[in-house]
């Protein structure tokens, strides 16, 4: 990665001071799911006669179901209703999340350490609850979170701030005292728009990491570095 560990993203947010809560995105942060979404969307779009190879991934990465599906509907001139597409996408994704998608190896240790250190922990994912809950159960990590917030709970998904504001309210912490951990630019924008400090973990497999400085407050290389960064900056 071209961005060094612990680099300041100079996102021009609030000063990096004490945090009382850490709010995590799921896909690309705790779940190594981004490679699977090409397959999920290819299967969904195949039903409508579209051959898809992931060429539009950067346009929908980190966005809500409704935003992603509206993009596909417009791009491929599909006649299907968004509700129908969402149901089909959820059914396909459920199989992946319940049986196939791995968790990043460092995730349980990071979550356990932060919880033991007294932080409130929240999950704020664009994915819908019916897809995410089986993943959390399979990997036994729901126990670490004080609150779970899903994409189907808010009207305006990422890059809008709604989901992070709702997650902060659920854990009972003011937005300025929340640290967001994200991988996608849309999620970073959501966290910053919510008035929070954002740590980014861009995945060079799918993202142009040169776009991240100036967006996130801090950029790290992988999730396992988060606890050390917090220890030195909190």
What is the distance between the alpha carbons of residues 218 and 209, in angstroms, rounded to a whole number? 13
pLDDT digits (tens, 9 = 90+) for 56-95: 988 888 788 888 999 999 999 999 999 999 999 999 999 9
- Annotate 4-69 with three-state secondary structure: CCCEECCCCCCCCCCCCEEEECCECCCECCHHHHHHHHHHHHHCCCCCCCCCCHHHHCCCCHHHHH
What is the distance between the alpha carbons of residues 144 and 141, in angstroms, rounded to a whole number? 6
DSSP 104: P
What is the distance between the alpha carbons of residues 137 and 61, in angstroms, rounded to a whole number? 24
- What mean pLDDT is predicted for residues 223-233? 94
pLDDT at 208: 84
pLDDT digits (tens, 9 = 90+) for 3-32: 444 455 545 444 444 899 999 999 999 999
pLDDT digits (tens, 9 = 90+) for 140-182: 999 999 999 999 999 998 999 999 999 999 999 999 999 999 9
DSSP 221: S
pLDDT at 9: 57
């Amino acid at each position: 990665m071209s961005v060094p560990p612990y680099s300041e993203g100079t996102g021009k947010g609030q000063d990096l001071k004490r945090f009382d809560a850490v709010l995590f995105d799921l896909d690309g942060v705790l779940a190594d799911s981004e490679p699977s979404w090409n397959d999920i969307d290819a299967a969904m779009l195949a039903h409508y006669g579209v051959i898809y190879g992931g060429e539009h991934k950067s346009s929908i990465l980190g966005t809500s179901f409704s935003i992603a599906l509206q993009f596909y509907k417009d791009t491929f001139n599909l006649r299907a209703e968004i509700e129908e597409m969402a149901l089909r996408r959820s059914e396909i994704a459920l199989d992946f999340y319940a049986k196939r998608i791995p968790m990043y190896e460092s995730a349980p240790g990071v979550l356990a350490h932060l919880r033991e250190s007294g932080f409130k922990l929240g999950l704020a994912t664009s994915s819908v609850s019916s897809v995410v809950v089986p993943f959390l159960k399979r990997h036994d990590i729901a126990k670490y979170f004080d609150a779970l917030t899903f994409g189907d709970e808010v009207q305006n998904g990422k890059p809008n701030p709604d989901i992070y504001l709702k997650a902060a309210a659920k854990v009972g912490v003011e937005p300025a005292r929340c640290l967001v951990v994200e991988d996608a630019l849309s999620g970073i924008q959501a966290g910053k728009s919510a008035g929070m400090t954002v740590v980014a973990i861009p995945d060079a497999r799918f993202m142009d990491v040169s776009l991240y400085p100036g967006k996130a407050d801090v950029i790290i290389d992988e999730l396992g570095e988060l606890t050390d960064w917090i220890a030195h900056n909190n």
